[in-house]
Structure 1
């Protein structure tokens, strides 16, 4: 049977009463023995005895509170290895036990966080995506292994300024990192790993073009703003061989469907001729339905066949006045530049198809009609050519959509085929150029086409 002990508060109250009683008896004994003239001696002795007894009775409480204070100071310094021992007092022992449980839990939590940070760091360091973390002063405070190899041949770059790091990078990569935009951009595969001044000259001339996606994020830690930059290479996700396979599949499917659709359409026409004198409304409705669905299927097939059977560009000098006039008649836009004077040979039909797709997307993005713009710039360096820019003030694209916008069959539209932008990319790359996309700071999307003269 367990003994019931008095609460600590009751013990302290009783202890104080006991010390008062003992000191009072001692003081009365002195006063009685030496007379009233020794009252001061009785008071001093009584107070001293009361003090000594109180100190003795509260020593355990004082020791436990001092130990608890030291333990909490250790908690403040992130030191969780200190444990408290028991004092033979149930309430104090309970506090010590709770402290020890909290200390053990904090030790385990710290160990768990440490292991998780090691695992996360291992994953980040082995990721093929480039990750940079910079502060408000644009100083790099963290970079993974892929970033160090891309920017500094594997040497640590923490502590460097971003401007210093990107000073000698290829032009497209430097511009993407130096701006605040998210989006797609293209660089030369060889120049991505070079840092010499000559690498800029190879940005566009080389046929081996890599497409990259850049995304950004912000977060606050320790009352300081941090900026996260992620670079992801998209070329490996869908290379030229995979596109060729898709095209072959589309051609086979289109051929088989056309072989079935053509006889159906022919039979519908024959059926109309044979039953024209019957004047049967239900029969006419059946023929109309079959005809409409076969026409829709033929149109559906033709969109994919256009992507699969894209012919080589038939280049000729462009009459820019006629070209812009025909383009504006289909989708209006604000021309922000003079027409180019550079004698450049392009496939006018294919280029018109590209710009029609881009202008159509701009008008369908929720942009104001008078805010859709077209800009044509002549470029002399590093290679001679033109850059055509289509911009709008619509809703733009999310980071996820931007990273997949140029992949065949990816579409966010309910009735989209997912080949509009990939077809634009095929045409532009067939001309030896490349396409980049990024969200505008003021809202909307900016799409740039680089088309070299040679």
Structure 2
């Protein structure tokens, strides 16, 4: 039975039971049979009317609430029910439904505004973005993605990644660099992936950042820096050579020549030879910097590596504070060269600060599950300018080439590691920190 029918029957039963005493009194009276039947029929009709009215009164507000909830389910949050008030069971139910409608309306407006903002941001960023479902079908694309694929959104939505040439982008490591050719552009891209859920289903987000222009700009800046450096170093050598050569030519053209002309000639030629050798050393240093070979990886015992390198330093003793027994995957020769350069710099700095040789240089290392951290500490003069330490051809030494630390950093980065230099905060000297990944 329906709810309204149950209310109707319950009300009718109550009315009929309430009419039983009246019917008993009526039957016991002296009225005629016709009169008694007429009164009983009237009582039944009144009971039916009252029961029907009660059922309607009960069902009407429930139907109103049902319609309001249905409107909420359909997304219409503008409807409100009348009769909301506290202290009344039905009024409180209506009040709560109205409050729910207002809350849902505010939430929808917030979601619409947030979605509009997100679409604006996605449209403006210079990163191609694609959203794929579990079947690798495209569900989301921004303006940069459409330009990259040179197709409209209607043409792209629903296409599989294989059809768009993006299948390999959904596999492999992330982030990484890839070379990609698409209808709207080609070059080197940085690939990143993420995930999001829509209606309980997991989707993949694909981001492609065009690095071509950035790389070209960095290449242009690198060439500018290189040309400035080369011009500076070459001018430093050619200017005195040109000046001395002009002086020697003038000297040879003089007649009679002065008595000490041969001495001036020898000194001038010595200067030319010295500056020529300096220029040759500079070119050789640059060649070594540009031709660093790829590392040949093998297992390297860290403790043995440090003992070997420390044993090569003869100017002052280097303390090996030690660390855990650990091995890394790397090129032993290149790592030795890195440590030789760094320890040599530390020793030279310490000797500058302590000419008597009573300075201290110490090496130590630590390791966790992912990384080796090796430290070379000295009590020397420290860094004058830490930002220039790794600049190619920058040196504070009188006869330095300025490529030692640059080579060391290249070796560390070729091993997927880092090399940093920083002054001690609580005492004189500097710390060099080499970080290498552990497999």
Higher relative contact order (CA 8 A, sep 6+): 1
Task: Please classify the TM superposition score into its range, dividing by the shorter chain length.
Answer: 0.3 to 0.5
Which is higher, the Rg of structure 1 or of structure 2?
A: 2
TM-score when scaled to structure 1? 0.46
So what's the TM-score if we normalise by structure 2? 0.48
